[in-house]
Amino acid sequence: MPAKIVSPKDALETSHPFDGFCYKRGGLWVPLPKWANFYLRLGETLSRWNDEQSRFTVALAVPIHSYISPLISAGIISGRSIIPCIKTDPEYFDFLSSLPEDTPLIYREKNRKRNAKKKEVREINGKRYLGIQIDEGITNTIQYFTPEKVRLIELSNKDYVKLPRQQKGRKITPPSQLVTAILSETCVYDFLLHTRLENVIIGSSTVLKEELQTALAATRLTQGDCPGLLADLLRVRELNPPGTAYRTSILAAANNKISSNPRKVSPYIVIFDGSLGFVKWRDYWRQFNWVVILEHTDPNFHYAVDQVNLEYHYRSEKPHKVKIPPLPPGIEMMFFITDL
């Protein structure tokens, strides 16, 4: 049966970010297969876990593990991208206003970002304005922002910043249309500019990096096809220039040690992409949420399954509210939680 070609007029606008997702085949955008949509939605479901007293384990037995860990990661990152953006504009204004004077900030204007300092809050004609200093010129340039405009201002990760006399700022690489379509407008630049390690993927780094170059598109009625790469959604530390904000780190399962220890910045989840990474590194990452992906044809499949069953033996019996999407044919899954 020929693949159905997706066009904007065929797409339905719904609340789920992965509706209308496509991949490129033969130069045409075609719908993602159901199994791929399952993994995106599984990741988005797992992103809602918020029990600090326990962690979850998802163990998957699959006929082939291609693309599974990047798709689950994309769902997790999409779901968790709203975390810094839960404040309303007035709440965010109050937060910035409460910061001590001269707190380092980042000010975003069009496609450039500039260092700044928090200065003062003024009330003019009954409306409050937040003042931030951009330049250290003769007049100590201060710009003022209403609550509706404070999303252009972000807290810097620097302890101190020295402002130049006239600041040009640093150019921001704009997000892909895919990222913009998936994330809310208020979260996009937080996603681009701020590091928060969500996923550590342990597997074959060569294979994973190839999979991340897959072209995807989110089809929207108002925007048409919004293309990008799977890598755009994961923002992998090892694939971006030094100093670039990231959400994912890829570690080779075959390594004998983990260099530049990403565990110092605690990830939300560790994904073991294959039995080798799980058997070798599970104790190192024991305090975090797990996804374990085991392929039936892997020579160590049965041994790894035995180790998962051993972990299951120590599961917690307390109830949870995680609702896993329906499993596609040929996939087996175990979900359980463990007390910390």
Q: Which H, E and C letters describe the chain, residue by residue?
A: CCCCCCCHHHCCCCCCCCCCEEEEECCEEEECCHHHHHHHHHHHHHCCCCCCCEEEEEEEEECCCCCHHHHHHHHHHHHHCCHHHCCCHHHHHHHHHCCCCCCEEEEEECCEEEEEEEEEEEEECCEEEEEEECCCCCCCCEEEECHHHHHHEEECCCCCCCCCCCCCCEECCCCCHHHHHHCCHHHHHHHHHCCCCCEEEEECHHHHHHHCCCEEEEEECCCEEEEEEHHHHHCEHHHCCCCCCCCEEEEECCCCCCCCCHHHCCCCEEEEECHHHHHHHCCCCCCCEEEEEEECCCCCHHHHHHHHHHHHHCCCCCCCCCCCCCCCCCCEEEEEEEEC
* Predicted local distance difference test score (pLDDT) of residue 14: 41
Enumerate residues 6+ apart whose C-beta is below 8 A from 237. 197, 246, 248, 249, 250, 262
Give CA–CA dist 185/85, Å, rounded: 10
Give CA–CA dist 77/199, Å, rounded: 8
Closest alpha carbon to 267 in 257, 275, 254, 258: 258
Give CA–CA dist 106/117, Å, rounded: 8
- Answer whether 228's CB lies under 8 Å from 177's CB: yes
Q: What is the pLDDT along the chain (340 residues), one digit of tens a residue?
A: 233 333 333 333 444 678 788 998 888 889 999 999 999 999 999 999 988 899 999 999 999 999 999 999 999 999 998 777 667 788 889 999 999 999 999 888 777 888 899 999 999 888 999 999 988 776 668 889 999 888 888 888 777 888 877 777 677 778 899 998 888 777 887 888 788 899 999 999 999 999 999 999 988 756 678 999 999 999 999 998 877 889 999 999 988 776 544 445 689 999 999 999 999 999 999 999 999 999 999 999 999 999 999 999 999 988 888 899 999 999 999 999 999 8
* Predicted local distance difference test score (pLDDT) of residue 115: 87
CATH code given to domain 8-81+183-339 = 3.40.50
Instruction: Report residue 289: phi and psi, to 5°.
Output: -65, 150
Rounded to an integer, what is the distance from CA 210 to the centroid of its chain?
19
Residues of the chain with CATH 3.40.50: 8-81+183-339
Amino acid, single-letter form, for residue 205: S
Residues of the chain with CATH 2.30.30: 89-171
* Predicted local distance difference test score (pLDDT) of residue 138: 63
Amino acid, single-letter form, for residue 266: S
The CATH T-level fold of domain 89-171 is SH3 type barrels. (2.30.30)
pTM of the model: 0.81
Tokens of 243: 């100093």
